[in-house]
Amino acid sequence: MSSKVGTDIAINGDGAVALAWKQINPDVVAAYPITPQTIIVEDFSKYVANGEVDTEFIDVESEHSALTLCSTSSSAGARTFTATASQGLAYMWEMLPITAAMRVPVMMAVANRTVSGPININNDHGDVMSARDTGWLSIFAENVQEAYDMSIIGPRIAEHHEVQLPILVNLDGFILTHAIERMTPLDTQHVRDFVGEFKPLYPLLDTDHPVTHNLMDGPLFYFPHKYQMVVAMNKALDVAREVFAEFAKISGREYHMVEEYRCDDADYIAIVLGSSFGTMKQAVDNLRDEGMKVGVAMPRVYRPWPADEIAALCKGKKAVIVMDRHLSIGAYGPMFPEVCASIAVNGKMPEMYNFIYGLGGADTMVSDFMSVYKTVEAGKANTINYLGVKE
Amino acid sequence: MVNLADYKEMIIGSRVIEPGNSEKFRTGDWRSQVPVIDKSICISCLSCWIDCPDNCIVVDEDGLVDVKTTHCKGCGICSQVCPKDAITMKEDIA
Amino acid sequence: MSAPLTLKELNKDIPDRLASGHRLCAGCAEGIIARQILMGTDKDVIVSCSTGCFEVSTTIFPYTSWNVPMIHTAFGNGAAGCAGVETAYRSLKRQGKIDKDIKFVNFAGDGATYDIGLQALSGAMERGHDMLFVCLNNEAYMNTGIQSSSATAKGASTTTSWNGAVAYGKKEASKDVTAIMVAHNIPYVAQVAPHNWKDLVGKARKAFECGGPSFINALSPCPRGWRFDSKDTISISKLAVETCVWPLFEVVDGEYALSSESQRIADGKVEKKPITDWIDAQGRFKHLKDERWSNIVEEIQADVDKRWNKLLKLCSL
């Protein structure tokens, strides 16, 4: 294999996303600044100013217009990216299900940040979890390298002609967006070869074949149109596996639907999203040293939900702990019921525990995560637990 | 059980690739009055054509106007804008 | 476009972009206005629509009334949607991936222009997208059933500004969005009304060819919401101009100029009709005939006069 990787660089997560975008060279980027996403569009607009990309970069007046502009630009036939976080994603919300139903493969980086109120700029997954039912694909990064890699993998899944759904690429606000880490980029030509030419379906700009986009559906058609999206999501499971395998060939970096760490012989496993996966690996190592058989896993792909992999992962465990960095107030964390359902429909239930943690950027340390396992092992855990809150 | 459309026969997304196929939807059924054109008076000024909201005035081979009754909703605008009073609205009982 | 502006030429040259079978109410002016606007260019055109009567009526799945490409996303963002298509076009054209000359137009109701859509419209105009934004101004939220908008006339009875024992209908006069668009320093802004096709198509031509963002505010008489007989759409439109409720004018690179009947009224060749002619012709103002509200009619007349005189000053510079 020829060397397809570049030299290691030190870069923050936002910069890594912008670098991936530069290498992909999209036709259109439209975005509105919001912490902690802003560095992505700042860095990218520098590439535009220096003529390093062919992109039309549009500074819109709001996130609602940003996503609107992206959805119609993609419908028109242009590869189109955007980025947002928190209130920005909330302000876009009306356009999230519309964009997905338009069946356009817009890619959006989400610098995960909590949602007001109270206003808070730090990390949790409240923003992206509000988007989980809208028909977008959603993938998570553990570190800066993965924020870069997922930005290259994202369009390949989204733009597949049997998928054609927009995709959210999640990276934890500040923890990844602003943290400088060492990363190995690919060289630009290999990125472009991997991502390939954008081949739109039914582009609006093909005026010789006039297509009307986004009509009004009556009850006979709305549900079938939604079901088409179900079919596309199911297909995306296969497509993601294929794209991960292909990416491994050019990068040497292997990704899976669910990333596992020391789960095989573990009695107790936790399931977590994003950068906390890395922190929890350290907690697992520490506890293993103490003789506890524990493991941790991260759903790389959150939508489509990899139910089969989750069920297989949890099979035969004494307990499964679901770590949610968001809370459906009055119910559980958002991932907990999904993990429970995945196991329940496939067989025998282990003990199930839900830990809500880290809201609004509340620091969650290795020792905190160690206490999670210890609480469960000691039989002191409730079904739902609020890590760090003095109840 | 409801009889929903077959998703496999629909292209993805709420898109229609056949331009102007609303011609198949006969809005003429809405009508209670129909315009009748006296071609002996018509001067073919096309005032009715430009003001028809439903694109229902067509020009025949002789340059005279005709009404496409399949879609005419019977609004009566054409009868009002005709400078020669060549168009009258008549009751239309289908 | 250089073809002479006659109906014979228009009938011959321009393909009908909007097909029959749309489900606008009988006598709705929106079909008339849209057809005439689209006669303003013989180039390829792509249509975008904000949610509203016009969008819904022309795109009920599986039927489309569009013979040209058309896209809709939501209510408050028509300008951003149109801008997205135009941006994609600019990008692909610059990269040599497309070589056609294409025009872009967004149709929106007054709610999607004056109210919920104003932010996106302002943004798109400020950014200079080469697109025409047309407001089909029927002066209320007709698609949801005649609710008051900021384009609704003072004194009009709507389903959220009823007339009643203690109310004369909408309390406020309409907002001047045309002036707000002029303040964006865009190359072309105009007001039109459907009874004057020559003025309307002529202005559409200028808007399409102005080389930047343009805005046309089209009065769109609504038989259902304004309570008049569907055959009278054109005469009501004419009355709006004759009473100076809806003056016809254009603003080219910041220069105001009256047009057609409005110019003739300003020149004293035609007499300006009283506001009572306008009010008496429509059921939405019927209650104003009650003596109780005679002061309101006077206030409406005073407001029309004030706006007209301001416009005269702007045009005489």
pLDDT in tens, A83-109: 999 999 999 999 999 999 999 999 999
Give me the pLDDT at residue C71, please. 98
C158 in helix, strand or coil? Answer: coil
The Cα-based distances of A226 to A101, A223, B3, C65 in angstroms read 7, 5, 15, 24
pLDDT tens, residue by residue, A228-281? 999 999 999 999 999 999 999 999 999 999 999 999 999 999 999 999 999 999
CB of A269 within 8 Å of any CB in chain C?
no
Q: Is B12 on the interface with A (CB under 8 A)?
A: yes
Question: Nearest Cα to C84, choosing from A67, A214, A82, A88?
Answer: A67
CA distances from C49 to A100, A325, C40, C119, C215 (A): 19, 39, 18, 16, 14
Mean pLDDT of A337-359: 93
Confidence tier at A391 by pLDDT (50, 70, 90):
confident
Distance in angstroms (rounded) separating the CA atoms of residues A22 and A26: 8
Give residue B1's pLDDT: 65
- What integer pLDDT is reported at residue A1 of this predicted model? 40
pLDDT of residue A5: 66
* Rounded-to-integer distance, Cα A347 and Cα A336, Å: 17
Instruction: Kindly state the average pLDDT of the residues A7-12.
Output: 96
Helical packing angle, A366-377 and A276-289, nearest 10°: 60
Shortest CA gap A135–chain B (Å): 12
Mutate which of B2, B15, B18, B25 to disrupt the A interface (most A C-beta within 10 Å)? Answer: B15
Q: Where do the H-state alpha helices sit in chain A?
A: 13-24, 38-49, 63-76, 86-92, 95-101, 126-129, 144-159, 188-195, 219-251, 276-289, 307-314, 335-344, 366-377
Contact list in C for residue B71 (CB cut-off 8 A) is 20-21
Whether the CB-CB separation of A101 and A129 falls below 8 Å is answered with: no
Q: Determine, for residues A60 and C80 on separate chains, whether the beta-carbon distance falls below 8 Å.
A: yes
- Answer whether A109's CB lies under 8 Å from A17's CB: yes
Chain A nearest-CA distance from B40, in A, is 40
B54 band by pLDDT with thresholds 50, 70 and 90 = very high
Question: Which residues of chain B have a Cβ shorter than 8 Å from any chain C Cβ?
Answer: 10, 14, 16, 18-27, 30-31, 45-47, 49-56, 59, 68, 70-71, 73-77, 79-81, 89
pLDDT for C2 equals 66
**Taking 90 as the threshold, does the pLDDT of residue C290 lie above it?**
yes
Contact yes or no for A202 and B2 at CB 8 A: no
Q: What number is the average pLDDT over the span A169-179?
A: 98
β-pair partners for A320: A269, A352
Percent of chain A exceeding pLDDT 70 equals 99
Token digits for C29? 């002016």
Q: How far apart are CA C152 and CA C303, in angstroms?
A: 14
Closest CA to A81 of A44, A34, A114, A46: A44
- C chain contacts of residue A94, beta-carbon cutoff 8 Å: 74
Alpha-carbon gap: B84 to the closest alpha carbon of chain C (Å) = 16
Q: Tell me which of A7-21, A26-40, A346-360, C103-117 is least confident.
A: A346-360
* pLDDT band (50, 70, 90) for residue A386: very high
| pTM, rounded to two decimals | 0.96
Q: Does C62 touch chain A (CB under 8 A)?
A: yes
pLDDT digits (tens, 9 = 90+) for C109-121: 999 999 999 999 9
Average pLDDT, chain C: 97
pLDDT at B94 over 60: no
Contact A219/C at CB under 8 A: no
Confidence label for B61 from pLDDT (cuts 50, 70 and 90): confident
Touching B (3+ Cβ pairs <8 A), the chains are: A, C
pLDDT at A124: 97
Instruction: Flag whether pLDDT at B52 surpasses 80.
Output: yes
Q: What is the pLDDT of residues C25-80, one digit of tens each?
A: 999 999 999 999 999 999 999 999 999 999 999 999 999 999 999 999 999 999 99
Contacts B5 to A, Cβ<8 Å: 220-221, 224
B-C interface: how many C-beta pairs under 8 angstroms? 122
The distance of Cα B69 from the centroid of its chain, to the nearest Å, equals: 6
Q: A4 pLDDT band (50/70/90 cuts)? A: low
Nearest CA in chain A to C96: A54
Assess A207–C contact: CB distance below 8 Å, yes or no.
Answer: yes
Residue A334, CA distances (Å) to A233, A356, A361, C223 in order? 19, 10, 18, 50
- Of all residues in chain C, the one with the smallest CA distance to A217 is C61
pLDDT at position A295 over 70 = yes
- On the question of pLDDT at A2 being above 50, the answer is no
* Chain C nearest CA to B1, separation (Å): 21
- Judged by CB atoms closer than 8 Å, whether chains meet at C127 and A69 is answered as no
Q: Helix A307-314 and helix A335-344: axis angle, to 10°?
A: 70
On whether any CB of chain B is under 8 Å from the CB of C256, the answer is no
Q: Is the pLDDT of residue A3 over 70?
A: no
Computed from CA positions of residues A199, A200, A202, A204, in that sequence, does the dihedral angle turn out positive or negative?
negative
Tokens of C156: 């009009």
pLDDT tens, position by position, C4-39: 899 999 988 777 899 999 999 999 999 999 999 999
Chain B residues near residue A209 by CB distance under 8 angstroms = 17
Nearest-angstrom CA–CA distance, A33 and A15: 15
pLDDT(A197) > 50: yes
Please answer yes or no on whether C7 and B54 come within 8 Å at the CB atom: no
